[in-house]
Amino acid sequence: MKILVAIAVVIMTVGCQSSDKHNMRHSATKIDANSKIKQSHKPHSKEYEIGQNKNEKALNDNDMTDQNKYPVVKSEKQWREELGEERYRILRQKGTEYPGTGKYNLHFSKGTYACGGCNAPLFASDNKFESNCGWPSFDEAIEGSIEYVKDTSLGMIRTEVLCAKCGGHLGHVFEDGPKETTGQRYCINSLAIDFIDEE
């Protein structure tokens, strides 16, 4: 088990660069949620677990002592009760869901993705694209909704993205997104967000 999470992170970081044609937003919007999309970078569960444990250690080393700076503040007990174990592990303990398993990975309906912890709107469906990484990917966030934090865990320098309202961990943002739009790829855990249908 100790060997799995770093790989997920590595995949998040480098696993999506060979699929430029899938990175086009216009092609992504045509993808049917039920269609079978070839996962060109299917991760190994072993890799995932390695990274996962390292992530948890990183969290313990750097406890969330500054959480009172957010408009939405709850005790860890409250968060755990409201979110349930799975979402608590992602949002409050900076966990990473297993790639390819999230409910919004291949979800392309029109609407808004909101924070799973506090319901703040974070991403518009128009900014979602298929990255073939195994996690929901967006090329832009709703202005002011995200806090960016330098993350040096796992021996890498990455940019963690958190909900600016409650401090919930959402995922990371990378510079290998669609070149024809922003060039950014917000790699987000499905468990960290809720979809709000436009209708």
Binder to Zn ion among 4, 7, 28, 163 (CB under 5 A)? 163
Nearer to Zn ion, 66 or 175 (CB): 66
Contact 28, 105 (CB under 8 A): no
Binder to Zn ion among 5, 28, 115, 154 (CB under 5 A)? 115
Is residue 115 part of the annotated active site? The answer reads no
> Smallest gap, in angstroms, from Cβ of residue 167 to Zn ion?
7
| Residue 168 interacting with Zn ion (CB under 5 A) | yes
Contact 118, 167 (CB under 8 A): no
- Binding segment for Zn ion (CB under 5 A), chosen from 31-39, 40-48, 148-156, 164-172, is 164-172
Binder to Zn ion among 4, 154, 166, 170 (CB under 5 A)? 166
Angstrom CA distances, 189 to 5, 37, 53, 168, 179, stand at: 14, 19, 17, 11, 22
Site for Zn ion in 15-54 (CB under 5 A): none
Rounded Cα–Cα distance for residues 83 and 178 (Å): 32
Rounded Cα–Cα distance for residues 16 and 63 (Å): 31
φ, ψ of residue 88 to 5 degrees: the values are -60, -40
| Residue 142 interacting with Zn ion (CB under 5 A) | no
Q: Which residues bind Zn ion (CB under 5 A)?
A: 115, 117-118, 120, 163, 165-166, 168
The catalytic site residues sit at 187
